[in-house]
Amino acid sequence: MVRMEFTMEEFYSTIGGPTLFVDRLCGVLGIHASEVKIVSVYEGSLIINYELMVPDDSQEELDALEKLQE
């Protein structure tokens, strides 16, 4: 989950919405967009819930992604 200081309108008009968010997240983490799933987007600042998936559910790869996000 990530919390951003944007309204829903700003997220979709200025930030580019979920597609650009996924592109930027993948760029930072060095993963493919197929490994990210937006679960929900809602206001309260702006909160985005997402899941990261790795081939074969590799715990080692998931642990590495977790460290990158910190």
What is the predicted pLDDT for the residue at 26? 92
Specify the 3-state DSSP secondary structure of 58.
coil
Taking alpha carbons only, the member of 6, 67, 1 closest to residue 39 is: 1
What is the predicted pLDDT for the residue at 63? 87
Global pTM exceeds 0.85: no
- Reported as type and span, the H/E element at residue 18 is helix 17-29
pLDDT tens across 12-63, in order? 887 778 889 899 999 989 999 999 988 888 887 777 888 888 878 788 888 8
Q: Around Cβ 31, how many Cβ atoms within 10 Å?
A: 19
